[in-house]
Amino acid sequence: MLLLRLVYIANILVAGWIGITSLFYPTTSAATVFSGAYPPTETIRLVGCLWLAIAILSLLGCWLPITFSPVLLLQLIYKGSWLLWVAVPAIQHNKPYPTGMAVFFAVWVVVLPFAIPWSEWKR
């Protein structure tokens, strides 16, 4: 349960900051969060909405950790998918991609399977 709460806190801090930055300051986000790999478009603002939603759900998860844990499965799926279908091909073809984001996503994809309370979902 401690790991689960730590993941929620990390989501609040990281996804919250990225969500707010991407939603309200897409030019700053394009330069920092996305390492200049993508231009500041409305798509960055859309991604900001997703990350801000994850931060808000994680805030609620601090009080009801099991109830809000499916948000972690969503993160595992989309971060793993992004790594496989965006980051890996970019690396293979020597194209720009947000390296910091890729590293963070890779760490999260390793950590999340241990934080997700799989056995609690059987009930």
What is the arithmetic mean of pLDDT over 74-95? 98
Does the predicted TM-score (pTM) go above 0.75?
A: yes
Determine which helix (DSSP H) or strand (DSSP E) holds 45, and give its type and residue range. Answer: helix 42-61
The percent of residues in the chain predicted with pLDDT above 90, rounded, is 97
pLDDT value, residue 122:
79
What pLDDT is stored for residue 123 in this prediction? 62
Q: Strand (E) positions, 61-123?
A: none
- Neighbouring CB atoms inside 10 A of 75's CB total 24
**CB distance 75 to 112 below 8 Å:** yes
